[in-house]
Amino acid sequence: MPFGLVNASPTFARCMADIFRDLDFVLVYLDDILVMSKSHKEHCHHLDQVLSRLKEHQLIDKEKKCRFFQREVQFLGCNLSARGIKPLQDKCERDNALPICKTVKEAQRFLGMIKYYRRFIPQCSQIARPIIDFVAKKTTWGSFQDSAFKK
């Protein structure tokens, strides 16, 4: 499918979702396919099903982009393993180096970014409350917002 077309990406994403909809061990994001299994034997069976579906729908998997039998993978900005889901360390370090917000627009961007990571931040809503109040123009930026931003 030519990706220059306006609706190509959403159409492709919908197509991929439809192809793998009934396989609960598969996560698809655009052209990234994640196959999850509990054992080596189960993984072989799952991979066989996924590769058969790709072939059946005349979709080609690029072997050099494939990673099989991984115990830990990076997917959508997270490390996934049997131990759980964690944000990528380099993204956390980059985000920790952000300058403190000065404008409502910067604070909105920051809140949008932490929304993605909220499941990894205990009491995220409470911590972010001073920044949320600033964005809602209930208060000016001050020490409470600085403290919340640094947490």
pLDDT at residue 116, rounded to an integer: 77
pLDDT at residue 144, rounded to an integer: 83
pLDDT at residue 89, rounded to an integer: 74
Domain locations in the chain as residue ranges: 8-70, 90-150
- Residues of the chain short of pLDDT 50, as ranges, are 1
Contact 20, 14 (CB under 8 A): no
The hierarchical CATH code for the domain 90-150 is 3.30.70.270
Instruction: Compute how many other C-beta atoms are within 10 angstroms of the C-beta atom of residue 6.
Output: 7
- Written as six digits, the tokens of 53 are 């579906």
pLDDT at residue 95, rounded to an integer: 59
Contact 25, 53 (CB under 8 A): no
Q: What is the dihedral of CA 37, 42, 46, 49, to 10 degrees?
A: -170
CA 140 to chain centre: 32
pTM of the model: 0.62
Q: CB under 8 Å to 114, separation ≥6 — which residues?
A: 121, 124, 128
Contact 120, 86 (CB under 8 A): yes
